[in-house]
Amino acid sequence: MSNDTARQWLLLIYKVPQDPTRFRTYLWRQMRTLGALSLQQMVCLLPKTPDHESEIQRLVKKIEEFHGEAHFLTFTSPSKEWEDRIITRFNTIVNEAYAEIAENEERFQDEIRRETRKGKFTFIELEDMEADREKINRERARVHARDFFGAPGRSEADAQTAETTKLFKEFSRKVYAQEGVEEPVDKQDDDRDPPVKSPL
């Protein structure tokens, strides 16, 4: 692996006082939101991107405000084997998140089919479903943002999303028909998938 083809990474090593515990909790949540890989306690890794670099610098300042200590390093993959192992670890975590999304989509599909069998084609039911759908969409967007290397689990999650979209649109049409209201032609499709972010 040459330096021209090797990936670059950001490594954050930090420590903060044990009390109050909210400092550690805050940093853990921030690193999780960024999609960082925890190599060990308070040692986190991210692919190098301008956004990640900016966020890590922000967290370094926070750590210092918490009277902690932080070391922020940039380095290049030492070997292809090491890089492949790290990418696999990133993808494993993201695949688990995609599997949860797929399960949530399947449960949502079951709900649509159940309410369809009952004939509950009302705006109240539709609004409840739209709220549930928004929650899934937000979580899917968060996982997409952490999918740096095109985790294979996305394909199943996307397939379940497509099935949910089809069932939800059909249910929506039946609600408008039942209520005797014309369905808006400019209704936004709220499940468009953002592209996979790549650190390349």
Element (H, E) at 137: helix 123-146
The Cβ of residue 55 has, within 10 Å, a number of other Cβ atoms equal to: 19
Number of structural domains found in the chain: 2
Distance (Å) of CA 114 to CA 82, 121, 126, 159, 169: 48, 11, 13, 20, 15
In a domain, 31, yes or no: yes
Asked if the structure places residue 189 within a domain, the reply is no
Write down the pTM of the prediction.
0.85
Secondary structure (DSSP) of 19-51 = SSTHHHHHHHHHHHHHT-EEEETTEEEEE--HH
CA 109, CA 155: separation in Å to the nearest integer? Answer: 17
Which domain covers residue 19, as residue numbers? 8-76
Residue 3 within a domain: no
Based on the fold, state whether residues 172 and 103 are members of the same structural domain. yes
Position 86 in a domain: no
Sequential pLDDT tens for the chain (200 residues): 666 678 999 999 999 999 999 999 999 999 999 999 999 999 999 999 999 999 999 999 999 999 999 999 999 999 999 999 999 999 999 999 999 999 999 999 999 999 999 999 999 999 999 999 999 999 999 999 999 999 999 999 999 999 999 999 999 999 999 988 887 764 545 444 434 344 44
The whole-angstrom separation of Cα 17 and Cα 36 is 21
HEC string of 49-104 equals: CHHHHHHHHHHHHHHHHCCCEEEEEEEECCCHHHHHHHHHHHHHHHHHHHHHHHHH
Three-state secondary-structure class, residue 158: helix
- Whether residues 98 and 146 share a domain: the answer is yes
**Whether residues 43 and 103 fall in one domain:** no
Are 95 and 175 in the same domain? yes
Rg of the chain in Å (alpha carbons): 22
**Cis peptide bond prior to 20, omega within 30° of 0:** yes
Both structure tokens of 187: 């209704």
